[in-house]
Amino acid sequence: MSDDDHSGFFPSDEEDHVGPPAGSTDAFAAGRRVREEELAIAWVREPHVESPMRFAGNDESVPIRYRSDADRVCIGATYRGESGNAGPGFERAGPRAQVSFVPSRTTAAIVTCGGLCPGLNDVIRSIVRVLMGGYGVRRVLGIRYGYAGLTDVDIAPMELSPKDVGDIHKDGGTILGSSRGFPPMDKVMDGITGLGIDILFVIGGDGTQRGGHDIHVEAQKRGVPLAVVGIPKTIDNDIPWVDQTFGFETAVAEATKVVDCAHVEARSARNGIGLVKLMGRDAGFIAAHAALASSDVDVVLIPEVAFTLDGEQGLMGHIDNLLHWNGHALIVVAEGASHHFFNQDTQRLDASGNRLYQDIGPFLREQICKAFPKASMKYIDPSYSVRSAPANAADSVFCARLGQYAVHAAMAGKSDMLVGRWYGKFTHIPLSLIHRKRKSISPRSSIWRSVLETTGQPCLLPEEVRKD
């Protein structure tokens, strides 16, 4: 992955860049706004127990390769921290020779929060199998229905074992259930201490991870040696400092199937118009990648790029041209593209703290039907079918490895951190770092340029934006 390709994963606001600018050849450009001390990972306690993970599985001919905290990952390179000339870098994930918890006396818990996403069960399965089969942890709890399961006495946790999770990766959703929101902190901590939890694995998006950070802070205040390790879950792929979140590949694959079906519907009708609304509240990664995978999409509309409906450069004029020359049109819109049109109430939030936007799908469908009353309109919103799909092969592998690296970090006593992947290397990321700004597609990035070249869509920017 080149620096230019990576630029599309980050905010377009230059002042808030956390990655190299498009075309940059500076290998350490992404670290220029982050100091080395900001990348330090918190400890529950110093490691003092020899790791029981000495061999890969049961094969004594394959010894475990331990990682050191001096192994670092910077932009485009892996280096030893002692060199002192490679710039800021993340800790490299992996098993440590010394651990902080005695496995036979350790209780771990897993919680899944927020909306559904392909791969949740795969991550749960991986965590349980490595904890119990690799480290010998005897007690693993599954917290039911998000953080609410830590406070509601009517929601008992599940006792998990390798047998209990044996086949769950074949199904979508999460066996633990999920919910949004965060109960009062004192009740959450009372629930954690009451269950005797030593390690808490938090699977969710940025709102969920904020909750994980707050739990870590409160545990430190109370003097509770609790390790909190996050696994990034957002189907929109908008968490910064990770090159991809799990479930994204499956979401793109499932969305592409729907886009292809919409194309068949559109081209099979006289003046057929297909409109597909995909996930993407603040970032258009799924819409952009599904359009590239399909190669039949005529227009892609995403939150990061404003567009206008009417006028010479408007969407309706382009649809009219498509119907005239091709006889049909196919449009893909990300759900968050609506904020360019409506006077959004930015104070309206869901239980996870996400801004609530007006639904762009029905609005565009109505506007297109008004402009082209004789057209055959097909509108598809596959959001829930995409979210509930089981992970595909690529995501299953990714989820399994994320779960493994999360367990290694937790057993080593690390806390207030997220396990991610950066340039193909698994890393430890402080939770405080991921809340600065969400990842998004830069209009100047190579990924957006590829979308424009594939669709052939014209500039649909409002006139005032084009003048700027």
Q: Annotated active-site positions, please?
A: 236
Q: What are phi and psi of 395, to 5 degrees?
A: -70, -35
Amino acid at 203: I
Asked whether 143 and 156 are in contact (CB, 8 A), the reply is no
| Burial per residue of 40-62, b for 16 or more beta-carbon CB atoms within 10 angstroms, e otherwise | ebbbbeebeeebebeeeeeeeee
Q: How far separated are the first and last CA of the chain, in Å rounded?
A: 32
Between CA 348 and CA 371 the distance in angstroms is: 31
Between CA 43 and CA 385 the distance in angstroms is: 40
433, two tokens: 């770092």
Asked whether 44 and 226 are in contact (CB, 8 A), the reply is yes
Collapse the DSSP code of 239 into the 3-class scheme (helix H, G, I; strand E, B; otherwise coil) and give the result: coil
Q: Is residue 301 within a helix (H) or strand (E), and if so which, with residue range?
A: strand 299-301
Between CA 16 and CA 438 the distance in angstroms is: 10
Amino acid at 368: I
